[in-house]
Amino acid sequence: MKPYIHFAHIYDHLMAHVEYDQWLIFMENVFKERKVQVSKVLDVGCGTGELMLRMHQAGFVTTGLDISEDMLAIAHQKLEAAHIQPQLFQEDMSQFSLPENYDAITIFCDSLNYLEKEEDVKRVFSRCYNALHKNGILLFDVHSPFKIQQFYQATFADEQDGVAYMWHSFAGEEPLSVEHELTFFIETENGLYERVEELHKERTFDVATYTKWLKEAGFTDIRITGDFNQFELHDQTERIFFSAQKKQEMSN
């Protein structure tokens, strides 16, 4: 079963603890540090639109792209409720082609980790490069190898407002990969609980590998930090942030 079919409808409920403003602050700090003017942003893996909403409120004209129709439907409702006319595309991030170019592209909340194949990650970087204006910025974050290994054999369970869930994680088949088995018990109108299951797979790569692929796609001035700050990485960094710039047009 494809991930986010059922998960989409309770995603915001389960992620209520996530401080999305941290990504917005990181993004704005990168633009300031690099002295670039950014108006149009493409949010790849936009999910239910939480970050898109904040980007719009901060003054960025933001387009969303996601592979999940269910997540995009929720994003559309959320943005319209905030009196924002959303521009959303249902596309695979490794194959997208849009009619416009952007000043910046974001792939936040470890969305890139959902690609298990090396060639797919490389294609994402190439697609992003082509979709950026000259001097445009790509920003993304991924789980560190340390964080991926922390997931192994981890189990979580919770119940809130008519939704109970169990989340079991274990090592995947590929190096530095993890599989998450999610089981939800969702209360229905008649008071009974519906059981639904999903399998989510994530994979990361080391910093040198991501850097190599970014350079191969044409990006320059690659900057790497950890855990929402401007500090260097260390052995227990959990989330790795990359920013890279498109300095020239590349011929196809």
Instruction: Provide the pLDDT for residue 250.
Output: 52
Q: In this structure, what token pair is assigned to residue 210?
A: 């991501």
Q: What per-residue confidence (pLDDT) applies to 1?
A: 40
In the block, which residue shows the tokens 């949010």? 43
CA-wise closest residue to 145 among 211, 226, 239: 239
Q: Which pTM value belongs to this model? A: 0.91
- DSSP character at residue 233: P
Per-residue confidence (pLDDT) for residue 252, from 0 to 100: 47
What does the pLDDT read at residue 160?
A: 72
* Residue pLDDT tens, the chain, 252 long: 445 555 666 776 666 667 899 999 999 999 999 999 999 999 999 999 999 999 999 999 999 999 999 999 999 999 999 999 999 999 999 999 999 999 999 999 999 999 999 999 999 999 999 999 999 999 999 999 999 999 998 998 988 777 788 999 999 999 999 999 999 887 788 888 889 888 999 999 999 999 999 999 999 999 999 998 767 899 899 999 999 999 865 544
Token code pair at residue 213 = 């692929």
Whole-number Cα distances in Å, 6 to 13, 68, 195, 200: 13, 11, 10, 12
Cα distance between residue 33 and residue 99, in whole Å: 29
State both tokens at 187: 């209360």
In contact, 174 and 165? CB cutoff 8 Å: no
Strands, sheet with 155-160, edge to edge from the N-terminal-most edge strand = 155-160, 163-171, 177-187, 193-203
Question: In sequence order, what are the residues at sequence separation of 6 or more whose Cβ sits closer than 8 angstroms to the Cβ of residue 15?
Answer: 50
Domains, the chain, in order of start with CATH, read: 7-143+206-245 (3.40.50.150), 147-203 (2.20.25.110)
